[in-house]
Each structure stands twice: as structure tokens, then as C-alpha cells.
Amino acid sequence: MIAIVDYGMGNLHSVQKAVERVGGQAGIIETAPAIEDAAGVILPGVGAFGDAMDRLRRRGLVEALQRRMAAGRPTLGICLGLQLLFEESTEMGRHRGLGVFAGRVVRLPAACGRVPHVGWNQLHRCRDSALLDGIPEGGYTYFVHSYYAVPADPQIVLATTDYGLDCPAAVGVGAVLGVQFHPEKSQALGLQILRNFVALATGRNR
């Protein structure tokens, strides 16, 4: 099963329907054992970084997520979920994240244009990843964000998007992955991303 983590700050049902549309069995979960038992875990998120981490702590989910990702088990962060994978964020103060990837989350500078960044932007692939199988260079995905991740190691960046700067659009090491855009809102390309993750988690052919 693909477990979609409910901590009160995610677009859960849209993600669940999108996973089911590409042939995955998806369930919404909110307990640590369910995180540990799932073939794949999706950590969605909409809202503020500090609030999200507080809710994950209150529900006892932080350690389960960290253990899972430290073991390299298939996990996908979406939007805020990607940002939570990093060590800290500067959104409304300084807040510690899950610390899976070294780096921090910072606000998009005003020079980029309108903040938040809302709309369709192109993906520019940086390196090969099973998550990006079948995704064309320059394909469009849908973004909604005011903050972006700055990895300490640029080698974890799988794809970028140009929004006045090269903003990481997808990051990952092995089966631990994150996308800044919303695949569940990105039509055929987004469904292919989710299809690839389901295949990675379940061992199916893509």
C-alpha cells in the first residue's frame, strides 16, 4: 500500500485519487506503525513549515518518518513535504525539519517576481532518476509555493525550474524523494511521476 500521511496539512484526497488512478492502492494514515508498514509513503503538505513539524511531533510521526528514510525506503515529499525533508526552514523564524537532507528552506526573493509562485513552470532535468522516467525535458508542472529548498549538496537535485533562479523542483537520494510541485494537479506529467513512485515502491514495471 501507498500510505499518505495525514497530519492535518495536506491535500490528501486529491493525492489519494491520483495514486489510485495510476493503479496504486492508497490509504490515508496517521500512525507511526502504518508509516513503517507501508510499501511507499507520501508526505504531502500545504501551509507553514513550523506548524507542519509541530503537528508531526504531536502525532508521534517524526521518528517513524526519520527511521524509514534513514533506511532508504520509498518515500515522496510533495510541496511542503519536500521542504520538511531538510534540516531547517526560515519561514516565520527558524524551525528544525526532519533532517533527512542537509540544507535549509528560504523564501523566494522578491526579484523572482510574484511571491507566492503560483502556476505552471517547466522542469529541467539535472540527472537520471526512476522518479523522472518518461518525463520530458521542459515538461510543465504546477507549483504553489513561497519558499524553496537550498540543498547543501547540489548532487541531490534531480530537476530544477526557472523562477528568476534555478529552484530545485525535484530532489532525491535513492528511493527518498521530494517534488516542489503538485503532481496531483499536474495532469498527465504529474500522473507519470506518481506512477513512477508507485512502481518504485511496489516493484512493478512502469
Cα 41 from Cα 15, distance rounded (Å):
12
Element (H, E) at 169: strand 166-173
Which residues are 72's β-sheet partners? none
Residue 108 DSSP label:
P
Residue 61 three-state SS:
coil
Cα 186 from Cα 140, distance rounded (Å):
8
167 is catalytic: no
The phi and psi torsions of 3 (rounded to 5 degrees) equal -95, 125
Region label for 62, one of left (φ > 0), alpha (ψ between -120 and 50) or beta (otherwise): alpha
184 is catalytic: yes
Residue 203 three-state SS:
coil
Q: Which of 126, 145, 167, 184 is catalytic?
A: 184
Q: Which of 30, 79, 112, 126 is catalytic?
A: 79
CA 41, distance to chain mean position in Å, is: 11
* Catalytically annotated residues: 79, 182, 184
